[in-house]
């Protein structure tokens, strides 16, 4: 190629390089700004919603994730627009591809659908004590795909939302008050009325026991080795287990101090001697 041809080629190449170079620089700039803005907006939304009384901790991370994803999608579309890509056609193609991917990822989509149901119907929220299909613990986070919780002995549990939504859910923190049930066994030779009176004294001394509904103390069963006394008291939800532990200890001490026995399982064996 002679110098004249090289010059003509350069004259055509330079404007093209400048044009595409500016497009690349613009695309990188948009991408960086969009990425930074998405992270900033996500943190800002989380901060604002966490401070607002209208939103609880369950929805805070979801709002942040949704805002970040939407901004990143807009950013990617803007970047493609820098290179002359028709975004309308691209959205149609992505829609068709999304349908195909959705059919291949039915399990994942079911988790998303279940996550939306959990966030909409709100059978529990972050911080609630729940029993989900036999798994008992405290809810830490509810996402679009998974629900995170930890057991009472501090073991982390991650459950797919589809499993959570498809299981029986018991929310032990839903109501402000709960009933605590206890059973005390006494010997057949002991005074039932005396034992019931001693239990009532213990309950009356504990301020955590609510007066309404009134505590119930009844003879519930005549067992093989004991007469069973069922005690049902109402208390504030956070006090359920501390109250049960304290009352059980105090009733045992009160029984011991007043001569009421708590029998252990036993059997009478009769031996017959053959002549």
Residue whose entry in the numeric block shows the structure tokens 């004590």:
129
Split at pLDDT 50, 70, 90, the class of 116 is: confident
Residues 165/110, Cβ–Cβ less than 8 Å = no
Distance CA 100, CA 47 (A): 37
Q: Is the pLDDT at 166 greater than 80, yes or no? A: yes
Quick check: 56 pLDDT over 60? Answer: no
Q: Which domains are delineated in the chain?
A: 3-104 (1.10.287.1260), 125-171 (2.30.30.60), 177-257 (3.30.70.100)
Q: Which residue has the higher pLDDT, 75 or 122?
A: 122
DSSP type of residue 237: G
Please tell me the predicted confidence (pLDDT) of residue 3. Answer: 47
For 241-260, the pLDDT digits (tens) are: 999 999 999 999 999 999 99
CA distance 28 to 22: 10
pLDDT on residue 75: 78
pTM of the predicted model, to two decimals? 0.60
**Percentage above 90 pLDDT, the chain:** 42
Reported as a pLDDT band with limits 50, 70 and 90, residue 185 is very high
- Mean pLDDT of the region 182-199: 94
Question: What local confidence, expressed as pLDDT, does residue 28 receive?
Answer: 77
Q: How far is CA 218 from the centre of its chain?
A: 37
Residue 61 has pLDDT above 90, yes or no: no
- Mean pLDDT, the chain, rounded, equals 80
CB 150 within 8 A of CB 157: yes
Q: Per the structure block, which two tokens stand in for 73?
A: 């999608």
> pLDDT value at position 103?
45
Name residues whose C-beta falls within 8 Å of residue 15's C-beta, 6 or more positions apart in sequence: none
Residues 31-54: pLDDT tens digits?
788 788 878 877 777 777 666 655
pLDDT of residue 17: 52
More confident residue, 61 or 118: 118
């Amino acid at each position: 190629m002679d110098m004249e041809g090289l010059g003509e080629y350069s004259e055509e190449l330079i404007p093209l390089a400048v044009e595409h170079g500016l497009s690349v620089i613009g695309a990188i700039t948009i991408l960086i700004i969009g990425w930074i803005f998405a992270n900033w907006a996500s943190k800002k939304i989380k901060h604002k919603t966490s401070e607002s009384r209208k939103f609880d901790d369950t929805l805070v991370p979801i709002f942040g994730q949704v805002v970040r994803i939407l901004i990143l999608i807009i950013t990617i579309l803007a970047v493609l627009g820098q290179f002359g890509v028709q975004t309308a056609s691209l959205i149609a193609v992505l829609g068709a591809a999304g349908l195909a991917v959705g059919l291949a990822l039915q399990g994942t989509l079911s988790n998303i659908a279940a996550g939306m149901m959990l966030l909409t119907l709100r059978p529990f929220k972050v911080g609630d004590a729940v029993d989900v299909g036999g798994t008992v613990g405290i809810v830490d986070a509810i996402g679009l795909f998974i629900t995170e919780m930890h057991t009472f002995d501090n073991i982390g549990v991650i459950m797919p939302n589809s499993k959570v939504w498809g299981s029986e859910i018991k929310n032990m923190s839903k109501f402000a008050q709960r009933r605590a049930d206890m059973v005390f066994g006494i010997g057949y030779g002991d005074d039932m009325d005396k034992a019931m009176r001693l239990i009532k004294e213990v309950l009356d001394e504990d301020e955590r026991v609510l007066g309404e509904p009134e505590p119930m103390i009844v003879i519930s069963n005549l067992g093989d080795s004991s007469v069973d006394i069922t005690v049902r008291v109402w208390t504030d939800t956070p006090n359920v287990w501390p109250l049960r532990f304290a009352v059980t200890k105090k009733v045992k001490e009160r029984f011991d101090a007043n001569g009421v026995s708590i029998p252990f399982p036993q059997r009478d064996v009769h031996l017959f001697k053959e002549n």
